Amino acid sequence: SDDSETVSYRDDFSLTIKSFRRLTEYFLIKTKELYNDLIFDLDLLIDLAKVKNNLTNTKYNFSFI
């Protein structure tokens, strides 16, 4: 934009720099909400250092992916 404070995408939308900075916070909040919905609000503590995965192992239930 002319004022260097607005980001635009075609004619679809425009966003001020101030709003753009808040967009990150919005996406983080929405991501946390979706995550909690997916795990049914369980409080899971997973020690990722103990998680093992070997994509070449074809045994049933071995890969967590």
Over residues 47-51, mean pLDDT? 86
Mean pLDDT for 23-27 is 90
How much is the pTM?
A: 0.50
Q: What DSSP line would sit under 4-52, residue for residue?
A: SSEEEETTTEEEEHHHHHHHHHHHHHHHHHHHHHHTTT------GGG--
Percent of the chain at pLDDT > 70 equals 94
> What pLDDT band is residue 33 in, cutting at 50, 70 and 90?
very high
Each domain of the chain, given as residue ranges in start order, spans: 1-65
